[in-house]
């Protein structure tokens, strides 16, 4: 019997992975994570030369009868300079065992990361939030601008990056694409102090956000710290915030934003407000007051990649996109 697999390249993903649809899929997926309707394996990483890391992230969507795995090399500094970050997400039908598709991993990762932050923002940020701070003005930062603007009526954008050219480029792009008033910030503090919503998408190893800078009622999406020895927000930020996570098991192992305060004795796992999926499902309160500071710690989990890749595959099937490979 012939076996047919649909191959979806980065250009296919860029055209098929709609941000608003992906936000809704991440909302559903995070609910399923909390409800135990998915299976996630912890990220396994194998060190490679020049600081590269080979990573394997497996998961299963029970209701959709899909299983898959993101296989990717997270680039070290030399590979980053070469623009190298490559990976794939194979999707299997768990009933028949068929390999349905192989989807470009890099394109999926960026959109689903921003979409996950937006799903959390929709649940936790004040409804009247109008000012957004982006710390880290690269591709993921721009995707966060797009995603947050989809769930809140943002009027003003503060941007900070260690590279001034990246800050300027992001501001110019946001003005043109979304009509936002933009502020090119010289420091992270300047970006944060007046922001209703803050997204940290840097590659920092030490905190770029300090708790004393946060205004009452702020919401933070902490995205960039995906290893236990690095962090983007300081201990005071964690202590001032109600902290929600995508998946507690991974967040407490893999993000220094939480691991380091726990090691200091300044925070405990029991201090977590809960998994964001419980809030989205209406089973756990989110924001309790206008002045409460909320924080979503996004470590990034395998099932988010699989769910976003499945969305790409479904739309590709409808539009007959991609290349068909016959085994």
Who's near 96: CB < 8 A, 6+ residues apart? none
Helix, strand, coil share of the chain (percent; to 5)? 40, 25, 35
- pTM for this prediction: 0.96
User: What does the alpha-carbon distance between residue 162 and residue 169 come to, in Å, rounded to a whole number?
Assistant: 13
Does the domain made of 4-109+303-326 have the CATH classification 3.30.1780.10?
Answer: yes
Task: Report residue 75's pLDDT band, with 50, 70 and 90 as the boundaries.
Answer: confident
Residue 313 has pLDDT above 70, yes or no: yes
Sign of the C-alpha dihedral, residues 163, 225, 87, 305?
A: negative
User: What does the alpha-carbon distance between residue 104 and residue 236 come to, in Å, rounded to a whole number?
Assistant: 38
Task: Report residue 54's pLDDT band, with 50, 70 and 90 as the boundaries.
Answer: very high
User: What does the alpha-carbon distance between residue 211 and residue 135 come to, in Å, rounded to a whole number?
Assistant: 15
Residue 78 has pLDDT above 80, yes or no: no
User: What does the alpha-carbon distance between residue 139 and residue 83 come to, in Å, rounded to a whole number?
Assistant: 12
Q: Which residues pair with 70 in a beta bridge?
A: 57
User: What does the alpha-carbon distance between residue 150 and residue 25 come to, in Å, rounded to a whole number?
Assistant: 14
CATH number for region 126-300: 3.40.50.720
pLDDT tens column, 216-247: 999 999 999 888 899 999 999 999 999 999 99
Q: Where are the domains of the chain?
A: 4-109+303-326, 126-300
- Residue 108, classed as helix, strand or coil, is helix
Phi first, then psi, for residue 308 (nearest 5°) are: -70, -40
User: What does the alpha-carbon distance between residue 228 and residue 200 come to, in Å, rounded to a whole number?
Assistant: 16
Phi first, then psi, for residue 210 (nearest 5°) are: -120, 140
Task: Report residue 82's pLDDT band, with 50, 70 and 90 as the boundaries.
Answer: low
């Amino acid at each position: 019997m012939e076996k047919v697999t649909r191959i979806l390249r980065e250009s296919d993903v860029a055209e098929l992975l709609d941000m608003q649809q992906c936000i809704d899929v991440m909302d559903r997926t995070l609910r399923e994570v909390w409800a135990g309707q998915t299976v996630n394996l912890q990220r396994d990483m194998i060190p490679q030369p020049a600081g590269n890391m080979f990573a394997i992230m497996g998961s299963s969507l029970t209701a959709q009868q899909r299983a898959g795995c993101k296989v990717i090399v997270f680039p070290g500094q030399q590979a980053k300079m070469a623009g190298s970050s490559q990976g794939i997400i194979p999707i299997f039908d768990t009933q028949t065992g068929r390999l349905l598709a192989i989807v470009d991993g890099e394109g999926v990762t960026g959109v689903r990361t921003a979409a996950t932050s937006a799903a959390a923002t929709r649940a936790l940020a004040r409804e009247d939030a109008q000012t957004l701070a982006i710390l880290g003005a690269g591709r993921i930062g721009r995707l966060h601008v797009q995603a947050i603007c989809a769930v809140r009526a943002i009027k003003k954008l503060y941007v900070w990056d260690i590279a001034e050219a990246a800050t300027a480029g992001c501001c110019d792009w946001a003005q043109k694409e979304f009509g936002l008033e933009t502020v090119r910030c010289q420091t992270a503090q300047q970006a944060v102090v007046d922001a209703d919503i803050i997204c940290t998408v840097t590659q920092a190893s030490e905190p770029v956000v300090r708790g004393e800078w946060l205004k009452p009622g702020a919401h933070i999406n902490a995205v960039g710290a995906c290893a236990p020895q690095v962090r983007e927000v300081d201990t005071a930020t964690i202590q001032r915030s109600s902290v929600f996570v995508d998946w507690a098991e991974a967040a407490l192992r893999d993000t220094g934003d939480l691991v380091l305060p726990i090691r200091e004795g300044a925070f405990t796992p029991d201090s977590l407000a809960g998994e964001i999926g419980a809030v989205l499902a209406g089973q756990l309160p989110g924001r309790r007051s206008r002045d409460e500071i909320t924080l979503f710690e996004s470590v990034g989990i395998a099932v988010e990649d699989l769910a976003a890749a499945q969305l790409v595959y479904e739309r590709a099937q409808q539009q007959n996109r991609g290349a068909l490979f016959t085994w």
